[in-house]
Amino acid sequence: MVFVAKIKSVDFFRKIPSDLTEASLSGAGLSIMAAFSMMFLFGMELQNYLTMSTTTSVIVDQSSDSEFLLIGFNMSFPALSCEFASLDVSDVLGTNRLNVSKTIRKYSINKHLQTKGPEFDSTPVSTVIKHDDKVHQEYSEGSVTLNSNNFDKISHQHAILVVNFFAPWCYWSSRLTPSWEKAADIIRERHNPETDGRIILGKVDCTKETQLCRSHHIQGYPSVRIFRKGSDTRDPKRHHNHESYYGDRDTDSLVKAMENLIEPIELESKKHAKVTVEAKRPAPQAAGCRIEGFVRVKKVPGNIIISARSESHSFDASQMNMSHVISSFTFGKKVTPKMMSDLKRLRPYIENHDKLAGNSYINTGDKANVTIEHYLQVVKTEMMSSSHQLIEDYEYTAHSSLVHALTIPVAKFHFEPSPMQILITEIPKSFPHFITNLCAIIGGIFTVAGILDSLLHNTMRLVKKIELGKDF
């Protein structure tokens, strides 16, 4: 019993017998207010505990010199044919890659940006094309002159129609013309169009037949197209599905190529010729091109240039239109939806992750020789989550302009990685700190409410004593 009495003597929370306590209306009101205050402050403290705080700092980009930067893109060019569309990469260190094709895909599109046909074969063709060494100034015209009036008629009279779309001012057209006419004359002698009918060679002057050349998506000169009556199909706008010839342009090569075209066709079945020869490289089915894919570049200032390129064709700069619509243009690895959710949680306002997405850069038809340039300032952002997961992202600012082109117009993306990077660290709240604040809230409100109740109770007692003294 003595031991129990000693233990009770250290009781900090001694109880007052209930028969000695007295409930009051003011005390009840203060208790209710204190309870609501505790609940409100508890909710605020819980919200603060669950909310992550972040710190932002700017540090030097510590990426190694050998690290490459991935650039992904999806762009549509309504007036640039996939046949000549080329994507080139260069940088200040001297890197110069022309007509990148391994990591990109091309699709022919119409003016409404709708895909026409399967993926376009973007494998680079031979850059060395053989021509006749001796140019014969005098030659007979063995090919048929085609125009808008007779093109459809002649194309359906023969199993195969091979057409040279040319421009008189073009250097490569001038070199091809003598060989073309001589080859056409030889083919005409071997396979008379009146009695044989399996093949005929024609030509179209694109400076005179502008609309006809545009309907067949001719953008470079000369362009040799192969039309097969047995396999050609037409869409509602009467456009042909046809093939392109990219072989040598000397007389012997042209004659050999024409002979190979008609070899599988039997003479007696010329009216219903069904070509079974191995399919050649198809020509673009629409005038535009969508380019999508990625390239790896060094983390130094550089350029991505999209242009019409060919080592054996000429282009009319005044007719080139590099208008484009950008669906996406990003730096770094592809960001998954989950990563984007984490990014927005750590950095609520992400506006520069894909700054160019959805933007259109259209050059109206009355402006010729216009190059569209984009200047991109790229900065790396690293974010460390509370679970110690590192999230990398690249943001950039973009400034675009339309400038007059001195040569062939291009679409140019000049990118410049920043030597600095942004580091965002997520700092979780301490649970012991949360418990300490919670106890402080409960004890503080309870103590303050007790003080207020004591002051109110003593004041009321004093007032009553004064009133009794007066009445007395």
Q: Is 130 helix (H, G, I), strand (E, B) or coil?
A: coil
- In terms of phi and psi (left: phi > 0; alpha: psi -120 to 50; beta: otherwise), the region of 293 is left
Taking the C-alpha atoms of residue 398 and residue 326, their distance in angstroms, rounded to an integer, is: 13
Catalytic center residues: 170
* Length reported for the chain: 472
Which positions ≥6 away from 151 have C-beta within 8 Å? 204, 212
Handedness of CA 281, 284, 285, 289 (dihedral sign): positive
Taking the C-alpha atoms of residue 151 and residue 238, their distance in angstroms, rounded to an integer, is: 12
Q: Is 166 helix (H, G, I), strand (E, B) or coil?
A: strand
CB 384 within 8 A of CB 372: no
The string of DSSP codes covering 273-303 is: ----SPP-PBPPSSSEEEEEEEEEEESSSEE
Neighbours of 193 (CB within 10 A): 16
Please write down the long-range contacts of 446-449, taking CB distance under 8 Å and 24 or more positions apart.
Answer: 446/34, 448/34, 449/30, 449/31, 449/33, 449/34
Within 13 Å, how many C-alpha atoms sit on residue 27's CB side?
Answer: 9
Q: Which amino acid is at 259?
A: E
